[in-house]
Structure 1
């Protein structure tokens, strides 16, 4: 059986080389420094060889009890109720559970609440599981649930999803009522979010630095969190669904996508999130590795500031829609690994999705005709704002080239993310390419199209009508799913006709892993659960 020899080349910083040479000159001359560096390289080669197992995994992973996960961004918090961030929630979702959860098909399923019942349009009764243990050994009861949700409501970083809640009433230790200010059919979706995690009241009130010592009732217990962002968790033996099969998780911060791919190839990591699009084929062709892919609930879209001249004319917006070749954008920007949005901001895996209520097939003649009708036979100049990330930058460049074919001269303006979102929230932009992720129709459509969301809340097109506002309000309040579905379809038809934004593509998510890793599934909301993952024996 052949073995591959891995040689690791270490780049020694200049100050260390100078230090080595100085030692060499003082002790034994420059021969010492040369021999010392050679010695380092030999040790590195031996270490590289010894860390490799025959199946392409590291010695740590080959023990079948530890999974090292490469993540693109270090978590900012271990307390899920400080601020909503994907990087944090990818870790904390392993530590905490919620009353309800969304499965990988985006269906509501029981979690810490074993059942629930709508008592009236504003009141839902939740029956809690008995015997659920927190990591500190305390049993979870209604008092913990009330404390946790009230804690979320008080937190400026996450409370926007929970301000609809009017009261939380403890009926007994295992029964609790949640009362909303008005009928709200998205309540269960909001309670499935990581911000609604149920924390141990005792731990959160007794530990002033709960963020560094989180205590939940999830499948994994917190162990450590170092300055580099790496987090270590261990399996919770008393988890109510059964002890996890993988006994230890190490979340390793590896910002560069190419390095996450290399980590898989060398076996240093067992699972990697968000591989680079251009790296997918290489990983797929490695017999020791595999890739999981799925559509997410993140939509890329081109937004118009409808308060700006030219863009306030729906004919201009329609001309731009006819000039965009969505297929080319997906092929060039996403290497063909995204799904067309089909003229709606609701992905097909979200309730209420109504694709292609109004369509805009690629048609340059139609686009030019509409521009001429709007008084711009020779086009016009505008700016396209975009956060300085590779995918969004590439998307902007493709859009720039496509619009030039109908005479629209687009200047691409790259910005740091913080400045981009702040400035577009103030309405300083013309065009902008952005993304929006959601798990329910109300949070998606309300953020993009409702007048109450103008600016920083999400509606950066500054377009709204009383009719759309009323339909969104009614859809979120009705308990009749058929009525809600009908109203959401009507909203999608109206906005597809008026085009305050042009939905372009639904992002695909991926994860690469060793072929011995089994049972892992991608969650469209991107906060993937490790529970259920195991190593092939």
Structure 2
């Protein structure tokens, strides 16, 4: 009851009085309708996945200032283990969870084992190790309370293994606390939907679905965060988010459209921070859809590449906030293709459609998030495809509903983003170019793209130790997906965030991310 009163007080006062936000609290306006769970073994959506970085810790992380480098987090260091496919980690002896329990080697084993066995959406990242629910128990050796050896059967090198361990799904949870909340053998998954058991700078104090999320400083964290509390307000409308930050009712506003960003640039009380982003935006076709078989026809995939008005969307509609990008590796990643072989050409698209037997008037639904830029881009696609007599029916939905539909193959086409889970080309290659029977439910699986030969090439690239050869393999993978696949990669965005001038030390990661809240000051 106390936390509810606190939440109401924090939320309500600024709306009513337009007063400054509390000095010890960062108030953030952002849509919260994409959240499904805060369990790091399940969380895979923009906001919830980003919150993981602030309430949990992994053994290692991408260096905040230079993400191509690795930095220790819960681990003080690591070295090769008993085989080339193993690593020994030393855990910080003074690391504690928010409960006060020490972080031990057993907690690391429990967390990784739990994520593999639950087999939720992000588990495919850990499957890169060759781990399965059947073999995971044999992959660890406890050397002492603060030292363990991690092994893996997959043909991947130690550098990629370390990169995989930076992903939120590899977060270390407090095993003693989680085990106290197991219901019907769920490994504590139900409880962790709305609670936390981590060693990060903050703890999850309260969550009201779609309305608000409160994070409180973890008293066990070392060093302590600069602020006592983070309040994320669920604000669905971009115009309302803009108004709130202009009035000083919030300190930070996310997911503002180009018009909102332009309107705020002249406001002397705030600034627009631009952060590099690994997000690539793509149009995907469900090739297994029974109601519209044209979606599985490569002719439609090819024509679609010429029916996207890339320049108009990037420069006119989105005002340069997103740049044209046509390969699955984002610019800034080693080996990313930066060529742009496709442009808007209706005549060429019509020719491809005719030769491929796609009839005029072909119609399909396009599912998108009901937020900018998705709905704006979807409307532009609807208009440009119509020029070739391909009819698109728009289906705007809340983000959480979109992910549920996508993971259940309950869609015809989709326009959405993909963000890197770790800084290595494999993070996107294993999503766009890997789908094998009985394997992880990757993006390629979600669109029903059966690619045994390409999947083998993706595995070969992951295991290649020679840097030049590895780069060449990823170049070939990108070209294949770019030229002939049910994915049409269109854009890459920079994350633009509105921040009040009294908020300092703001920093954000290159992946799907909110601010690193632990360093923010007011």
Range into which the TM-score falls when normalised by the shorter chain? 0.7 to 0.9
What residue in structure 1 maps to residue 214 of structure 2? 232
State whether residues 117 and 125 of structure 1, in contact with CA within 8 Å, keep that contact through their aligned partners in structure 2: yes
State whether residues 384 and 433 of structure 1, in contact with CA within 8 Å, keep that contact through their aligned partners in structure 2: no
Matched, 1:95 2:55: yes
Matched, 1:215 2:197: yes
Q: Kindly provide the CA deviation profile for residues 131-162 of structure 1, in whole angstroms up to 9, marking residues without a partner as x.
A: 22222333322122112222222223343332
Q: 1:490, CA displacement in angstroms?
A: 1.0
What residue in structure 2 maps to residue 457 of structure 1? 442
Matched, 1:73 2:32: yes
What residue in structure 2 maps to residue 411 of structure 1? 392
Q: 1:92, CA displacement in angstroms?
A: 3.7
Give the match's secondary structure for 1:348.
coil
Q: 1:217, CA displacement in angstroms?
A: 1.5
Q: 1:324, CA displacement in angstroms?
A: 2.6
What residue in structure 2 maps to residue 446 of structure 1? 430
TM alignment of 1:278-297, pairs within 5 A: 278-297=259-278
Q: Kindly provide the CA deviation profile for residues 347-372 of structure 1, in whole angstroms up to 9, marking residues without a partner as x.
A: 1133432232x712444454455455
Q: 1:201, CA displacement in angstroms?
A: 2.5
Q: Kindly provide the CA deviation profile for residues 186-235 of structure 1, in whole angstroms up to 9, marking residues without a partner as x.
A: 43333222222212233223455753653322112444445775343333
What residue in structure 1 maps to residue 495 of structure 2? 509
Change (3 A) 1:232 1:257: same
Change (3 A) 1:323 1:124: same
What residue in structure 1 maps to residue 341 of structure 2? 359
State whether residues 383 and 429 of structure 1, in contact with CA within 8 Å, keep that contact through their aligned partners in structure 2: no
Give the match's secondary structure for 1:137.
coil
1:263 to 218, 222, 244: 244
State whether residues 424 and 455 of structure 1, in contact with CA within 8 Å, keep that contact through their aligned partners in structure 2: no
What residue in structure 2 maps to residue 161 of structure 1? 125
What residue in structure 2 maps to residue 26 of structure 1? none
Q: 1:505, CA displacement in angstroms?
A: 0.7
Change (3 A) 1:526 1:312: closer
Matched, 1:347 2:330: yes
State whether residues 113 and 126 of structure 1, in contact with CA within 8 Å, keep that contact through their aligned partners in structure 2: yes
What's the RMSD between the two structures over aligned residues? 3.4
What residue in structure 1 maps to residue 228 of structure 2? 247
Q: Could you state the TM-score of these two structures normalised by the residue count of structure 1?
A: 0.78
What residue in structure 2 maps to residue 531 of structure 1? 518
Matched, 1:175 2:147: yes
Q: Which deviates the most, 256-265 or 461-470?
A: 461-470
Matched, 1:132 2:114: no
What residue in structure 2 maps to residue 31 of structure 1? none
What residue in structure 1 maps to residue 174 of structure 2? 200
Q: 1:330, CA displacement in angstroms?
A: 2.0
Q: Which runs of 5+ in 1 are unaligned?
A: 1-43
What residue in structure 2 maps to residue 500 of structure 1? 486
Change (3 A) 1:486 1:267: same
State whether residues 368 and 378 of structure 2, in contact with CA within 8 Å, keep that contact through their aligned partners in structure 1: no
Q: Kindly provide the CA deviation profile for residues 221-263 of structure 1, in whole angstroms up to 9, marking residues without a partner as x.
A: 44444577534333345533x2222233223333322222222
Q: 1:318, CA displacement in angstroms?
A: 3.3
Change (3 A) 1:215 1:310: closer
Instruction: Give the distance between the partners of 2:88 and 2:432, measured in 1 at CA.
Output: 31
Q: Which deviates the most, 258-267 or 366-375?
A: 366-375
Matched, 1:322 2:302: no
State whether residues 382 and 430 of structure 1, in contact with CA within 8 Å, keep that contact through their aligned partners in structure 2: no
What residue in structure 2 maps to residue 143 of structure 1? 106
What residue in structure 2 maps to residue 184 of structure 1? 156
Q: Which deviates the most, 106-115 or 433-442?
A: 433-442
TM alignment of 1:29-48, pairs within 5 A: 48=17
Change (3 A) 1:372 1:137: closer
State whether residues 286 and 413 of structure 2, in contact with CA within 8 Å, keep that contact through their aligned partners in structure 1: yes
Instruction: Give the distance between the partners of 2:210 and 2:410, measured in 1 at CA.
Output: 36
Matched, 1:106 2:67: yes
Q: 1:124, CA displacement in angstroms?
A: 2.0
The higher-RCO structure (CA 8 Å, 6+ apart) is 2
Q: Kindly provide the CA deviation profile for residues 55-103 of structure 1, in whole angstroms up to 9, marking residues without a partner as x.
A: xx33x23xxx322222310655454335433333333432211111124
Instruction: Give the distance between the partners of 2:353 and 2:302, measured in 1 at CA.
Output: 9
Q: Which runs of 5+ in 2 are unaligned?
A: 1-12, 183-187
Q: 1:344, CA displacement in angstroms?
A: 0.5
State whether residues 278 and 510 of structure 2, in contact with CA within 8 Å, keep that contact through their aligned partners in structure 1: yes
State whether residues 124 and 441 of structure 2, in contact with CA within 8 Å, keep that contact through their aligned partners in structure 1: no
Change (3 A) 1:251 1:143: same
Q: Kindly provide the CA deviation profile for residues 32-65 of structure 1, in whole angstroms up to 9, marking residues without a partner as x.
A: xxxxxxxxxxxx99972xx63xxxx33x23xxx3
Q: 1:112, CA displacement in angstroms?
A: 0.8
Change (3 A) 1:434 1:521: same
Instruction: Give the distance between the partners of 2:15 and 2:155, measured in 1 at CA.
Output: 65
